[in-house]
């Protein structure tokens, strides 16, 4: 990577670190300070006394019950990939754990579960827009059917009958949730299906001094118009949207708990996100809003997914869930890069090796752009003696100096943009690959070799960041000396160290990419130096 590329990267990283330090961290601090205030002012949502009005079962409902109603406190569904526990309380899901994913690479028994990812195990509560209906909700749900392929519960009051049903889909990370409502007197305007995310989970950290963004909980939804996500710790006011919903859920870097409503219902649905106090904790409550349209009977169904953000798993449930893999504005490049990485993995069976091959191939494909940039640098390098003479001549008149330098470069056929444009064209690819290696579930606890057993975690011995610093320093020595300002020259000298420090706490997969990228760049630089007659910076300084 040449000096222009390093400078562009460092400016981008400086902006990122500044955003983390001066924008994101103050928001997180403010949210933490408000926790106690909210705890003292807010009441637990849906907090009601148990009603005694459900003594008589409706005759119409008893005809549909093929099994004796038995009250239990907990039901379990054991699937190949996951285990789901259901309760007969207001929260339908009591806990959801993944059988083949652990939170600790050294302890496979510590399974990834919904409470660890979102901050809460209890999810999917029903709530109404009318408080009179909410007062009827209680924890006395009755089990109609309890098996490994279907859980059915119902709640009957004087005002309504509601039945909820969950059955697993082909993917063991997902199931179908069906809700059936029958209102006996009046009908509320909206029905809410609630889920919760914690601003501060036990596994959360405040980030690092190197600016690494922590893996925080987001309440995310895709409307018919655009995608929105709100970090739970930065939620200050209610967010509402009735523009239709394609999916909604709790979103983290590697896992997602998402709801995908039936396609025929999506354009009528809405979303509400609000800060609440739930289970003795500050919480961000996300709600799928279902309009009743004043109907006496309302039926609703949605797919529910909890699992890793792997392309094939998400697509198997619903292609719309692929949107949960968020690469930002780089998605148009990141998705092909991710697919290329997975394709290589099928043959080499090691994501570290796949990263090395993909990086080398990209560098070779970009060689023509690099050649054009180096050609421009070779030209300016040969003009350095004359430029230095101009600096000495007009050292007391900056305005005159700039005008003379521009005139001199123009007369000698040098265009400053010619050296920068090829580098700028490469930057989207650099950022896209960065997002892929930083966010991809494929690298989660994926081993490489030797001490690197998790490509998604930092190099615990800092070997790769140190090697990267050394390679970048050596690359700087063999690159042409294009810096014209002494201050700029000093800054460039410190850039390898700054970059190495920044990479200390980033994933090992990213460090491997940067290491291979630098090694390939050095080989290309050596070749182009000989081909174009470029004088390395170290030799130019001695001269």
Tell me the percentage of the chain whose pLDDT exceeds 70: 73
Assess if residue 447 is contained within a domain.
Answer: yes
**In the block, which residue shows the tokens 């209906």?**
133
pLDDT tens, residue by residue, 240-259: 888 899 999 998 889 999 99
pLDDT tens, residue by residue, 159-186: 999 999 999 998 789 999 999 999 998 9
Give the lowest-confidence range in 75-84, 261-270, 383-392. 383-392
Q: Collapsing DSSP states into helix, strand and coil, what is residue 239?
A: strand
pLDDT given at position 356: 94
pTM score of the predicted model: 0.76
Structure tokens at 207: 């980030």
pLDDT given at position 192: 95
**In the block, which residue shows the tokens 């652990």?**
102
pLDDT given at position 302: 95
The separation between CA 322 and the C-alpha centre of its own chain, rounded to angstroms, equals 12
pLDDT given at position 272: 92
Assess if residue 502 is contained within a domain.
Answer: yes
Instruction: Return the exposure string of 320-355: e unless at least 16 CB atoms fall within 10 Å of the residue's CB, then b.
Output: bbebbbbbeebeebbbebbebbbebbeeeebbbbbb
Together in a domain, 158 and 204:
yes
Assess if residue 395 is contained within a domain.
Answer: yes
Together in a domain, 351 and 308:
no
Together in a domain, 366 and 320:
no
pLDDT given at position 165: 95
Separation of alpha carbons 357 and 352, rounded Å = 9
More confident residue, 462 or 181: 181
- Which of 308, 326, 344 terminates a domain? The answer is 326
**In the block, which residue shows the tokens 């706490």?**
505
25: pLDDT strictly greater than 70: no
What average pLDDT does this structure show over 128-145? 87
Separation of alpha carbons 116 and 96, rounded Å = 10
DSSP state of 479: S
Which range, 303-307, 434-438, 490-494, has the best average confidence (pLDDT)? 303-307
Together in a domain, 439 and 494:
yes
The residues, any chain, with a CB within 8 Å of residue 333's CB and separated by 6 or more, are 428, 429, 432
Assess if residue 34 is contained within a domain.
Answer: no
Helix axis angle, 508-532 to 463-478, nearest 10°: 20
What's the sign of the alpha-carbon dihedral 494, 497, 499, 501?
A: negative
> How would you class 16 by CB atoms within 10 Å of its CB: exposed for 0-12, middle for 13-18, buried for 19 or more?
middle
- Which of 276, 304, 326 terminates a domain? The answer is 326
What average pLDDT does this structure show over 475-494? 64
DSSP state of 23: I
Sequence length of the chain is 543
Together in a domain, 351 and 296:
no
Separation of alpha carbons 337 and 340, rounded Å = 5
Among residues 492, 491, 430, 475, the alpha carbon closest in space to that of 1 is found at: 475
Separation of alpha carbons 302 and 315, rounded Å = 16
12: pLDDT strictly greater than 70: no
Calculate the alpha carbon distances from 435 to 11, 230, 428, 438 in Å.
17, 19, 10, 5
Radius of gyration, alpha carbons of the chain: 29
Among residues 361, 368, 366, 515, the alpha carbon closest in space to that of 426 is found at: 366
pLDDT tens, residue by residue, 184-215: 989 999 999 999 988 877 666 544 444 345 67
More confident residue, 234 or 338: 338
Strands 142-147 and 123-128, by their bridges, are: unpaired
Which range, 93-102, 228-237, 370-379, has the best average confidence (pLDDT)? 93-102
More confident residue, 423 or 464: 464
Give the lowest-confidence range in 73-87, 207-221, 306-320, 466-480. 207-221
pLDDT tens, residue by residue, 298-343: 999 999 999 999 989 999 999 999 989 988 888 889 999 999 999 9
Structure tokens at 450: 């030797």
pLDDT given at position 391: 72
Together in a domain, 392 and 300:
no
State the average pLDDT for the chain. Answer: 78
Together in a domain, 322 and 336:
no
Residues 376, 419 contacting (CB under 8 angstroms): yes
19: pLDDT strictly greater than 80: no
More confident residue, 51 or 82: 82
Instruction: Return the exposure string of 86-121: e unless at least 16 CB atoms fall within 10 Å of the residue's CB, then b.
Output: bbbbbbbbbbbbbeebebeeeeeeebbbbbbbbbbb
Separation of alpha carbons 344 and 279, rounded Å = 46
Phi, psi of 455 (to 5 degrees): -70, -15
358: pLDDT strictly greater than 90: yes
Separation of alpha carbons 213 and 205, rounded Å = 10
Assess if residue 22 is contained within a domain.
Answer: no
Calculate the alpha carbon distances from 525 to 240, 357, 516, 528 in Å.
54, 19, 14, 5
Q: Residue 458 CB: number of other CB atoms within 10 A?
A: 21
Residues 5, 426 contacting (CB under 8 angstroms): yes
pLDDT given at position 421: 61
Together in a domain, 223 and 317:
yes
Separation of alpha carbons 172 and 305, rounded Å = 9
- Which of 326, 358, 382 terminates a domain? The answer is 326
Together in a domain, 242 and 337:
no
Assess if residue 516 is contained within a domain.
Answer: yes
Among residues 306, 359, 326, the alpha carbon closest in space to that of 114 is found at: 306
Residue 87, strand partner residues: 74
What average pLDDT does this structure show over 89-115? 89
Together in a domain, 199 and 215:
yes
Residue 366's domain spans which residues?
Answer: 3-17+332-542
Question: What's the CATH number where 232 sits?
Answer: 2.70.98.90
Q: Domain count of the chain?
A: 2
pLDDT given at position 286: 92
pLDDT given at position 491: 67
Structure tokens at 358: 């993909």
Residues 423, 373 contacting (CB under 8 angstroms): yes
Together in a domain, 312 and 366:
no
pLDDT given at position 469: 86
Longest dimension (CA), the chain: 101
Residues 303, 317 contacting (CB under 8 angstroms): yes
pLDDT given at position 32: 44
Residues 223, 243 contacting (CB under 8 angstroms): yes
What's the sign of the alpha-carbon dihedral 436, 437, 439, 441?
A: positive
**In the block, which residue shows the tokens 């827009």?**
129
Phi, psi of 451 (to 5 degrees): -80, -15
Separation of alpha carbons 254 and 214, rounded Å = 12
Together in a domain, 311 and 344:
no
CA angle 310, 311, 317 (to 5 degrees): 95
């Amino acid at each position: 990577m040449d000096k222009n590329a390093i400078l562009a990267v460092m400016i981008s990283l400086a902006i990122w670190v500044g955003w983390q330090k001066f924008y994101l961290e103050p928001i997180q601090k403010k949210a933490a300070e408000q926790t106690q205030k909210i705890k003292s002012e807010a009441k637990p949502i849906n907090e009601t006394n148990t009603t005694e009005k459900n003594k008589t079962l409706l005759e119409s409902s008893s005809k549909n019950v093929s099994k004796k109603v038995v009250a239990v406190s907990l039901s379990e569904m054991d699937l190949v990939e996951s285990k789901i526990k259901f309760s007969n309380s207001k929260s339908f899901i009591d806990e959801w754990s993944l059988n083949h994913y652990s939170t600790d690479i050294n302890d496979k028994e510590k399974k990834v579960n919904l409470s660890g990812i979102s901050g809460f195990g209890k999810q999917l509560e029903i709530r109404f827009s009318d408080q009179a209906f909410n007062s009827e909700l209680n924890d006395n749900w009755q089990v109609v059917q309890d098996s490994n392929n279907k859980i059915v519960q119902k709640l009957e009051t004087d005002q309504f009958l509601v039945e909820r049903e969950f059955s697993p889909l082909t993917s063991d990370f997902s199931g179908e949730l069906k809700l059936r409502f029958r209102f006996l007197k009046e009908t509320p305007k909206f029905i809410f299906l609630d889920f919760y995310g914690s601003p501060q989970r036990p596994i959360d950290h405040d980030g690092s001094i190197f600016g690494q963004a922590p893996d925080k909980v987001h309440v995310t939804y895709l409307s018919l118009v655009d995608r929105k996500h709100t970090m739970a710790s930065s939620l200050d006011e209610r967010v509402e949207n009735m523009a239709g919903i394609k999916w909604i859920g709790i979103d983290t870097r590697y896992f997602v708990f998402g709801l995908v409503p039936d396609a025929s219902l999506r354009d009528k649905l809405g979303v509400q996100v609000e800060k609440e106090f739930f289970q003795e904790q500050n919480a961000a409550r996300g709600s799928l809003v279902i309009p009743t349209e004043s109907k006496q009977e309302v039926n609703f169904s949605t797919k529910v997914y909890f699992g890793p953000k792997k392309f094939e798993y998400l697509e198997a449930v619903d292609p719309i869930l692929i949107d949960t893999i968020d690469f930002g504005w780089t998605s148009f490049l990141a998705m092909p890069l991710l697919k290329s990485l997975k394709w290589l993995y099928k043959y080499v069976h090691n994501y570290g090796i796949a990263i090395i091959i993909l990086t080398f191939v990209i560098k070779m494909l970009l060689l023509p752009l690099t050649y054009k940039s180096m050609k421009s640098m070779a030209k300016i390098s040969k003009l350095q003696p004359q430029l230095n003479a101009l600096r000495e001549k007009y050292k007391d008149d900056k305005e005159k100096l700039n005008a003379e330098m521009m005139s001199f470069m123009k007369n000698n056929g040098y265009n400053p943009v010619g050296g920068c444009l090829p580098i700028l064209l490469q930057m989207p690819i650099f950022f896209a690959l960065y997002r892929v290696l930083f966010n991809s579930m494929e690298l989660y606890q994926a081993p490489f070799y030797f001490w690197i057993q998790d490509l998604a975690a930092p190099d615990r011995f800092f070997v790769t960041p140190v090697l990267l610093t050394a390679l970048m320093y050596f690359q700087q020595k063999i690159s042409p000396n294009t810096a014209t300002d002494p201050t700029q020259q000093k800054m460039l000298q410190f850039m390898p160290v700054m970059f190495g420090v920044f990479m200390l706490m980033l994933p090992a997969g990213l460090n491997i990419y940067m290491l291979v990228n630098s090694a390939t760049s050095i080989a290309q630089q050596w070749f182009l130096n000989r081909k174009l007659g470029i004088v390395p910076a170290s030799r130019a300084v001695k001269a």
